[in-house]
Structures are given as C-alpha cells and as structure tokens.
Amino acid sequence: MEQKIVNVFLASPRGFCAGVDRAVEIVKKTINKFGSPVYVRHEIVHNKFVVENLRSQGAIFIDELSEIKNKSRPVIFSAHGVPKKVIDEAKLNNIIYIDATCPLVTKVHREAEALAKEEFNIIFIGHRNHPEVIGTMGQIDEKFISLVENKKDVENYSPKINNNKFAYITQTTLSLDDTLEIISVLKKKYPSIKEPIKSDICYATTNRQEAVKKIAKKCDLFLIIGSRSSSNSQRLVEVAKKFGCKESILMHSDQKLPIEKIKNSNNIGVTSGASAPEILVENLIKEIKSIINIRVEEVITSVEKVSFKLPTMLIK
C-alpha cells in the first residue's frame, strides 16, 4: 500500500528578527572583546537553546546586578530592555554595561518619556510581568503610566492625573488583532486619545503573525517553535488557532513531538518565534521526516531586510 505524503507548510518569515540577531551578536562580540565571563541580566532572548549556547561560550546569566561577583566584568542588558534604575545601579557600581535592548523597544521607551514630559495619562497595553513591560514602565514615574492587558482592564481603568490628556503605547510583541480590539475600546472611552505615529508592534511580530494567518486554515496541525516565556511565540499559537487551526502546539524545549497527531494529519504548518534559531526548525523537519513522508513547501508572505547597528564600543 502506498504511504501517504503529508504537506508541511513552512511559514516565512519565521525565526530570528533583527533585534534578536543584534542581541546575540552583542553577547558574542562582548566575549570576544573582554574575554569570559561576561554577565547578562536576564535571558538575552527567550530561548533555552540560544541561552545554553551563549553560556557555553562564557556568558553568565543573572537576575540582578547584585549577583555580579566581579564588578570589573561587563554586563549586558537583554533585548527586552531594563528600567532606568538598573542603568543607574550599574553606573553607581562602576560596572561596564552594554545595552542590547531592541531599538524598537527603545522607541517605545522614548515615546513614554515624551508623553510623561507632557503629563499625559499613558495607557500601556501589554502583559504583566513580561521583562519588556517592566523595562518600559520603569522609564518614567509610575504616576504617568498604567498597564492594561485586555478590554475589561480598559473598562475598569481610571486615570491617575486629572487633566483629560490620554495616550496609549503598546508592548512590541502583542497579537495585532487582540491589540486592535483593545485600542478600539480605548478610542470609544477616550475619543481624543493620542496614538503612536507608527504602530509599536514590531515589524517581525506582525510579519510572523501574517505568515501564520496565511496557512493556518489549511492545516490540521500547527507546530510553533518557541519558548513558553516568549510572548511573540505564544501569540503565534493563538493566531494559528484563531485563524483556522485549532490543533496548534508550542514546541518548547520540554514539549515532546506529537507523533500520533502528525501521523493523523494531511497538512502541517511549521513556524518559529522571533527568538528561535533556524536550526531548531531544521531539526523539527528531520524528526517529522523520520515518522512520515513529507512534501515541504515554504510559504513566503514578506521578505525582511531590516538590520540594526551594533553599539559603537563593540565596532571599534
């Protein structure tokens, strides 16, 4: 009996974005320049494979600067950004620091600062306790900024400053569609609310979600490679489910391959979050190939040509 061939639709763009590329390169170049060890505050990006690889090259990952045993060693701040008090602490202790914050996150930081200067009530759409949210809220006095996670939070929101000036900003890795729903409720409540000139949701988050939307409806199973702590990867799972593939699974480091589901599928979608390296996609395809006959088709919805400059101190 002839064995069936299963279609594997490979979403493109997928995987590393320019901000992640830059952050990983910053760690490698810092090790090259200063020798090991170098400290990294928090996971440089949300991916276990990437973190372990950098650890093997001489990076030591810490949660707080107080854990740095040798203050003469440099510390790198993760791509998610840090509150201003962390930078102040590094300066106070004369610690050399290299900021690997994604430039698109830095853009949101500057927006928050500018709005606070004009004394706006800033409504920040994001996920509580995510490092990017902690970093952004830590740029300004807390009296200017409030976090909302959903439409209900908007309904329950009351301003901290009584001046009728409202503005919103967003975390860069949110679901485009969910955020638009929250924004529409905000605009209904505050018709004159000031919005960012250009969307805060990053190009890579948007592109990866659009690529998933394109193929989700024809897939019986969608496998998304990414970490449980990766906001943009979690959003890809939600988008795949919302746009037609109910059986969407986050393939994090502890997730076993769903062999029976793969065998029972005719069409499988595959993508990876912005902090997942391409080798993990290649390994997943190999694993699927060892179970069934497959035909791989890459579905390209856009081509990314963005790159970000490295900090000057690492170029010299």
Beta bridge partners, 124, equal 147, 169
User: Which residues are the active-site residues?
Assistant: 132
SS (H, E, C) the chain: CCCCEEEEEEEECCCCCHHHHHHHHHHHHHHHHHCCCEEEECCCCCCHHHHHHHHHHCEEEECCHHHCCCCCCCEEECCCCCCHHHHHHHHHCCCCEEECCCHHHHHHHHHHHHHHHCCCEEEEECCCCCHHHHHHHCCCCHHHEEEECCHHHHHHCCCCCCCCCEEEEECCCCCHHHHHHHHHHHHHHCCCCECCCCCCCCHHHHHHHHHHHHHHCCCCEEEEECCCCCHHHHHHHHHHHHCCCCCEEEECCCCCCCHHHHHCCCEEEEEECCCCCHHHHHHHHHHHHCCCEEEEEEEECCCCCCCCCCCHHHHC
**CA-only gyration radius of the chain, Å:** 21
Strands 267-272 and 166-170: unpaired
